[in-house]
Structure 1
Amino acid sequence: MTTRSGPRPLVFFAHHQGRGHANRIMAIAQHIPENRPLVVLTAKPSQFDAISRDAKIVRLPDMIGAPSHSAALHDQPTPSVMHCVPLGVPEVREHMGIIAETLRHVDPALFVIDVSAEIALLARIMSVPAITIRMHGARSDAGHLAGYEASVAMLAPFDEALEQSDYPERLRARTFYTGGLCTTKDAIEAKQKARERLDLDPDRSVTLVIAGGGGSGTPYAPLTVAARAEPDALWLVAGPVHREGHETDFGNLRELGWIDNLTAYLCAADRVVASAGDNTVHEIARARKPFLCIPEWRYFDEQRAKARELERLSAAVTCETWPASIPEWQDVLARTDALDTDKLAALHDEGAARNAARWLEAQANRLWADQL
């Protein structure tokens, strides 16, 4: 038996797309005991500049879009238990090789994967216990199921009430639900106080549209129709919008662009229109605002699946596509205003990141009990 001078490290893998995976890992990491070393594998090390505790950051090559050495290699079929494994790509080999070498050298207590089914399989092949972060979506394919089955457990950063009915019971039994994990910690304040600070009319109806950064931008044209549907209300758009060139601007529709005080605008709003991104949902829940959810396209139908669960719980009104007419906007907004915001608020847990860290620590101790 090999002796060690302290606890085995935890290794985290952060997917490159968006900031959500990195922010989630940093939120959990701050609650991991200081004496347990942390290693983070990422293609975007800059996303971890704000990590609040010591961690070794290992840079991975960005392999997305890298070409194969030949057309014949590129044309080889993908195995059913994998999603993205092109042949003859040096960047992929380097990427996976660094992960494998890190696991071999570090010999971690746990490898927490946020997210990749293929990397979960790699961990199992290397005899390393993996924890896969759960996400919503159509994930009953062979690749996802193989990744789940290769993991010792799954960690779901949301409330169990939000789970999908088609998630297999045998996997649910091996899943820990943290409660709704929001990585935003800015203080929640009263609506009128927030409006005073933002210089917004205290009596005017205000709708906040959160345009996510993970896609091509929220379409601007439907928002001009919404502004016409409520000419006396103020519509504020935070984040990037996509214009087609034919839109007419209206005085009650204002673009804020990227802002660093989103929570203040959430507090100031009467209702919120946004996608079904993980952190976005929990930001709105934390602020207890009526939520009109318009999911964006994501792989494996992730956002639409989550939106359907939110509507099932009467926690949000959802639209599969943006409303295209004034009557349609008026209808969905009236239904949004009638929501009981307690149902959405119940899906957020202020202690979710701490819950996740404590569970990970317990799993590490359980699995390596005879080497403590």
Structure 2
Amino acid sequence: MNQKPIAFFAHHQGRGHANRIMAISKHIPPERPITILTAKPEQFESLPREAELARLPDMIGAPSRSKALHNQATPSVLHCVPLGVDEMRDHMGIVAQTLRAIDPALFVIDVSAEIALLSRIMSVPAVTIRMHGDRSDIGHLAGYEACVGMLAPFDDAIEQDNYPDWARSRTFYTGGLCTTKDPVLTRDEARQRLDLPLDKRVTLVIAGGGGSGTPYAPLTVAARAEPEGLWLVAGPVHREGHETDFGNLRELGWIDNLTEFLCAADRVVASAGDNTVHEIARAAKPFLCIPEWRYFDEQQAKAAELARVGAAIHLNTWPASIPDWQRALADTDGLDVSRLATLHDEEAAQKAAQWLESEARRLWVN
């Protein structure tokens, strides 16, 4: 018997949305077809199963065709819908055409409030991936209302108090979903593999893939605040041109063995990106969380919830002095890492897929 497909929409910003979809899709039953709509199909080269890919135009920054169209105010129920943009019309048209053609059992949206509304207008049941942040505006609430349910790829212990009860009752919490599956090693085993000294305190700083890089200047202050320690920076850094390099501060650039460095570290300094948080939780390391700017204060809100449950130290900005760094590092070293570790669930992706499959079956029972 042919089964109706499950469709996924992957937002273009960063790799987290694509990685999450790939992790979940691995556990969707093989007899259930999958279609993925994305502006970056190259991010799905390692997709673990067969799927149809529908390429969407990248509409970000595309111009309106007249100044008068560009100047039209945005309706309060929507977030980003400029008028007269060819790429946006094509983007939304392909989404609509695909939904009409494949008639999916579910449309999983990671993430877009506007596309959730479009799905409801197309009479297609949608599920929105939940994200932290101040999403109490009418646009987000309308997107939630338009969906048959929400999927939260995190533990409900770090849900926000201001998330409405009616929405929470329709949300499935998977536990902390980490898309990385590399083996977790002991500290010494990881250091031996990486040729790192066994007798030094090692701090790993992680920059995510959705921003412009970790600011390098504060890290030079950190290196001076702990001169006997070794500071390793994974991912891009942002330099302003006035920084002084130090021998105990080493840039790694982009690396494909982040888990090994996580396991080798004594503590981790990072932003509050979804997968980053759960990678650190999986390795059970003391976590100093310094959020990056994101729309709707997504990372600040998540960091605040992590701090509330004692899973991380949350700083709004980078420490600017040696005493500031020393206080923050002492607080981080005093954390009970078990609190962060409990926020990771090794089976979160499988649970997400099982819930989506159960919803697909429930909604289409005659």
* Same-fold status (TM-score > 0.5): yes
Distance 2:50 2:201 in 1: 45
Residue 18 of structure 2 corresponds to residue 22 of structure 1: yes
Q: How far is the alpha carbon of 1:203 from its aligned partner?
A: 1.1
Q: Return the match for 2:186 from 190, 197, 207.
A: 190
Aligned AA (1:72): A
Q: CA deviation at 1:219?
A: 0.5
- State the SS of the aligned residue for 1:41: strand
| 1:225 correspondence with 2:255 | no
1:154 pairs with one of 150, 165, 168: 150
CA distance in 2, matches of 1:311, 1:144: 25
Q: Which runs of 5+ in 2 are unaligned?
A: none
Query: 1:113: which partner in 2?
Result: 109
Task: Choose from 218, 230, 234 the match for 1:234.
Answer: 230
Aligned to 2:312: 316
C-alpha distance after superposition, 1:198-242 (max 9, x if no partner) = 001111100000012211110000000000000100000001101
Match of 2:287 in 1: 291
**In structure 1, what residue type is equivalent to 2:243?**
E
Question: 1:96 maps to what in 2?
Answer: 92
Deviations 1:166-212 (A, max 9, x none): 00001000000000000000000100000001001111100000012
Cα distance in 2 between the residues matched to 1:219 and 1:138 = 25
Partner of 1:326: 322
In structure 1, C-alpha distance between the alignment counterparts of 2:29 and 2:86, rounded to whole Å: 37
Residue 63 of structure 1 is matched in structure 2 by 59
Which residue of 2 is the match for residue 44 of structure 1? Answer: 40
Tell me the distance in 1 between the aligned counterparts of 2:79 and 2:60.
Answer: 13
Distance in 1 separating the partners of 2:94 and 2:65:
20
Shift of 1:349: 0.2
Q: Distance in 2 between matches of 1:344 and 1:232?
A: 27
Name the amino acid aligned to 2:170. Answer: R
Deviations 1:306-348, CA, capped at 9 Å, x for gaps: 0000000010001100000000000010000000000000000
Q: 2:303 aligned with 1:307, yes or no?
A: yes
Report how many residues are paired. 366
Give the 3-state SS of the residue equivalent to 1:369 in structure 2: coil
Matching of residue 214 in structure 1 with residue 210 in structure 2: yes
Measured in 1, the distance between the counterparts of 2:314 and 2:338 equals 17
Paired AA for residue 155 in structure 1: L
TM-score by length of 2: 1.00
User: Aligned partners of 1:367, 1:100: CA distance in 2, in Å?
Assistant: 20
Of stretches 283-292 and 205-214 in structure 1, the one that deviates more from structure 2 is 205-214
2:251 pairs with 246, 251, 255, which one? 255
In the alignment, which residue of structure 1 is the partner of 2:350? 354
Q: Deviations over 1:28-60 (max 9, x none)?
A: 000000000000000000000100101000000
Indicate the residue corresponding to 1:264 in structure 2: 260
The aligned counterpart of 2:278 is: 282
The residue type paired with residue 165 of structure 1 is D
Distance in 1 (alpha carbons) for counterparts of 2:60 and 2:331:
41
For the residues of structure 2 that align with 1:196 and 1:47, how far apart are their CA atoms?
Answer: 32
Distance of 1:299 and 1:277 partners within structure 2: 12
Aligned to 2:135: 139
The code of the aligned residue for 2:361 comes to N
Instruction: Give the Cα separation in 2 of the matches to 1:127 and 1:284.
Output: 40
Aligned-partner Cα distance in 2 for 1:91–1:228: 49
TM-score normalised per structure 1: 0.98
Name the SS for the 1:21 alignment partner.
Answer: helix
**2:296 match: secondary structure:** helix
Q: Tell which deviates more after alignment, 210-219 or 79-88.
A: 210-219
Counterpart Cα distance in 2 of 1:213 and 1:369: 41
Q: Distance in 2 between matches of 1:87 and 1:67?
A: 9
Task: State how far apart, in whole Å, the 1-side matches of 2:125 and 2:197 are.
Answer: 55
Q: Tell me which of 242, 249, 254 is aligned to 1:246.
A: 242
Q: How far apart are the structure 2 equivalents of 1:178 and 1:365?
A: 19
**Residue 132 of structure 1: SS of its match in structure 2?**
strand
The amino acid that maps onto 1:90 is D
Alpha-carbon distance between aligned partners in 2 of 1:361 and 1:288, rounded to the nearest angstrom: 31
- Residue aligned with 1:232, SS: coil
3-state SS, counterpart of residue 99 of structure 2: helix
1:345 to 333, 341, 345: 341
Long gaps (5+) in structure 1: none
The equivalent of 1:8 in structure 2 is 4
RMSD: 0.5
Partner in structure 1 of residue 73 of structure 2: 77
Find the aligned partners of 1:208 and 1:159 in 2 and give their Cα distance. 24
**Displacement, 1:292?**
0.2
Match of residue 171 from structure 2: 175
